[in-house]
Amino acid sequence: MRSTWIRQISAIRKDGVESAINLTCGLNCVIGASNTGKTRIAKTVEFVCGGKETPFTDKTAYEVAQVTFITNDGEVSLSRSTRTQNTIHVESSNPAVASGSYSVSSRSGKSINTVLLALLGIEPTRRIATNETYHTVAFTWNAVRHLMLVPEDQVGRPQPSILFPKSTTLTTLTQSLSSLLVLVQDDKIDSSMQTESASEHRTRRKAVEQFIHQQLDDIEPRIKRLEEMRHIATNEGKTVHTYLEALRKKALHVEQQRQTLLDQDARTISHISQLNQQYEHLEVLIRQRKVLISQYESDAARLDLQLQAMKHARTHAYPTTCQFCHSSIHMSAPTEQDILVVSTEIEHIHGIQADVETDLAILADRADKVQRELQLKQQQHRQNMHTLESDIQPIAQHMQQDIEQIAHAEQLHAEYAELLALHARFNKALDNADQATSNNEKYKPRECFQGDFWYSMNNTIRNILRQCHFPGADIADFSKTSFDVEIAGYSKADEQGKGYCAFLNSVVMLAFHDYLNKQSKHAPGWLLIDTPLHGFDEGTRSTEDSSMKAGLFSYLAKQAVSQQIIIIENTNHMAGIPLDENVNIVEFSKDKHNGRYGYLDGVYDVSDES
């Protein structure tokens, strides 16, 4: 099942014009003459995935490279400008890949490496071993990029194996094999697997010795403290254990005193809370009584003013004519009965006011008593806290410290003896450490590959070569030593020319991807090979039925059922090779007036510019 494939490779000009190569999930053949920009296609993919070489020159006016991947969970599009080369922009509908700007550097907090590894289903924290002592480094996209992108300048190399980066040496071979193991069988390096080098062992030995001596030096003063405690106990006719037990009993008594005081204070605090509530209630009642008295005083004053007016009206007649309109005024003077009613009401109000003032005095007296009692209880609470903090608690803490020191000193005495014994054991163990270190199991990545990998690579390579009508198909093998194809035991570097090297490298890469498609959960899903027939010439005697080139493309169509394969080839190499109707063909005519000239719209060979 395909996991990832490339839907489109495109270049965008400064004016926004886009030149795109649309691909399918099967076999795609990009065919064209020289100088039509075919190699720029592979460089576009490599550049978008963090490569250093820019796919466009300033002369072309193209400045943005873009590649769109299709995954099982959505589309992921990567774009990178030649102007801001350190940043790659990602637009994603795949939940595993967040949209945004990513750095080219793998050391950055938000590196494009995390996106590319996510497309392979590999966590960004994965590490691989680099030497026989399991020293590890971070696993990155660059470690396996060559397994998906095979450029023209690499496809025909005789060595090292096309499954290794070109820069692989004896020093980096272990790391290259570890990278293959991640893709092949999801190998993970446990930190417990790591062993020590000789220098690391010497450093560790020195550190252990320093640690033991430091522990002995640190414990010595505490041992002396124990001896002092023993001396005090002896003078009192006690052992350290009886002395410690007596201290514990005293500490228990002090703790009981502390708890009694806390219980008493808890009752005091509860009483304070009740008194506060009573005082607040009395304050409310007092305020209410004062408001009533003020209202009664206002009512009495108002009625008294009315009474004085009525008495004045009895002795002074009202005017009979209005001084303004001169109309008649008819008003009767208040009677003695009216005056008596008002006087009676005033006396009634004064009576009620007197009762309220009496009640106010009683409430104020009760409030004063509650306040005095509250102050007394608050003083008692402060005294309790002072006694606890100044007397009981310091004594308890001091006694507890003595108990802990004596108990710790006893423990130190035993620890001291154990450290001395441990020191002797370590010295003995360290003396034999060199021999033990030499027996540590070393990391041998070739031995980590499962048996079915070797069988599958051998079998698939022979099967491909047979379908390609290769004469030595039955004597071809996949070497565990070189990780490359050998014919009758001879390496291709010794016996094959550059044309056959490109052909055989393509076969090895196809066999490797065939295994990943069937067995690995990290199968890339796509493979781009630039010019697999580079320098290959099988002569004029071959027919369609015996042509190795035709056989190779026939096999490519079959493997493309399981993954996307992108082949970039020269027009003259493809002559006489029949292509299946399901193959997606992108052809460059190198003719301004007929078909598509090349990869980049408006960019022509120098000879065609005029």
Cα(143)–Cα(180) distance, integer angstroms: 9
Does residue 216 surpass a pLDDT of 60? Answer: yes
Per-residue pLDDT tens over the stretch 275-311: 899 989 999 999 998 999 999 899 889 998 988 888 8
- Which of 125-139, 207-221, 271-285, 390-404 has the lowest average pLDDT? 207-221
Cα(270)–Cα(442) distance, integer angstroms: 74
- Which of 35-44, 241-250, 465-474, 557-566 has the lowest average pLDDT? 241-250
Structure tokens at 70: 């299709």
* Contact between residue 65 and residue 48 where contact means Cβ atoms under 8 Å apart: yes
pLDDT at 571: 92
* Whole-prediction pTM: 0.62
pLDDT at 389: 80
In terms of Cβ atoms closer than 10 Å to its own Cβ (0-12, 13-18, 19+), residue 463 is middle
Does residue 24 surpass a pLDDT of 80? Answer: yes
Cα(457)–Cα(589) distance, integer angstroms: 38
Of the ranges 186-195, 414-423, 580-589, the best mean pLDDT one:
580-589
Structure tokens at 231: 């001396």
pLDDT at 91: 97
Does residue 430 surpass a pLDDT of 60? Answer: no
Question: What does 494-558 look like in DSSP terms, one character per residue?
Answer: HH--HHHHHHHHHHHHHHHHHHHHHH-TT--SEEEEE-TTTT----SS--TTT-HHHHHHHHHHH
Identical fold, 4-195+444-608 and 240-433: no
Higher pLDDT, 422 or 325: 325
Identify the residue whose tokens are 């209880």: 377
Cα(170)–Cα(396) distance, integer angstroms: 70
Mean pLDDT, rounded, for 504-520: 95
Does residue 586 surpass a pLDDT of 90? Answer: yes
Cα(564)–Cα(3) distance, integer angstroms: 10
List, in sequence order, every residue forming a beta bridge with 87; answer none if it has no partner: 103
- Which of 248-252, 416-420, 436-440, 450-454 has the lowest average pLDDT? 436-440
Mean pLDDT, rounded, for 525-548: 80
Give the CATH number of domain 240-433: 1.10.287.1700
Mean pLDDT of the chain: 85
Per-residue pLDDT tens over the stretch 154-205: 999 998 999 999 988 888 999 999 999 999 998 877 655 555 555 666 676 6
Name the residue among 442, 524, 447, 449 with its Cα closest to residue 181: 449
Identify the residue whose tokens are 């308890």: 396
Q: At what angle do helices 240-315 and 336-387 cross, to 10 degrees?
A: 170
Q: At 2, is the secondary structure helix, strand, or coil?
A: coil
Question: What does 215-228 look like in DSSP terms, one character per residue?
Answer: HHHHHHHHHHHHHH
Mean pLDDT, rounded, for 390-396: 77
Architecture in CATH for domain 4-195+444-608? 3-Layer(aba) Sandwich (3.40)
Cα(36)–Cα(46) distance, integer angstroms: 18
pLDDT at 131: 87
Q: What percent of the chain has pLDDT over 90?
A: 48
Structure tokens at 590: 């190198």
- Which of 86-95, 227-236, 473-482 has the lowest average pLDDT? 227-236
> Could you tell me which residues come within 8 angstroms of residue 2 by beta carbon, excluding any fewer than 6 positions away?
25, 72, 525, 562, 563, 564
Does residue 421 surpass a pLDDT of 70? Answer: no
Residue type for 183, please?
Answer: L
Cα(465)–Cα(476) distance, integer angstroms: 8
Per-residue pLDDT tens over the stretch 29-55: 999 999 999 999 999 999 999 999 999
Cα(66)–Cα(80) distance, integer angstroms: 7
Q: What percent of the chain has pLDDT over 70?
A: 84
Cα(370)–Cα(279) distance, integer angstroms: 6
Nearest 5°: phi and psi at 384? -60, -45
pLDDT at 1: 40
Cα(606)–Cα(413) distance, integer angstroms: 91
Mean pLDDT, rounded, for 491-513: 87
Element (H, E) at 312: helix 240-315
Mean pLDDT, rounded, for 457-467: 95
pLDDT at 570: 93
Mean pLDDT, rounded, for 387-402: 76
Domain ranges of the chain: 4-195+444-608, 240-433
Mean pLDDT, rounded, for 477-500: 85
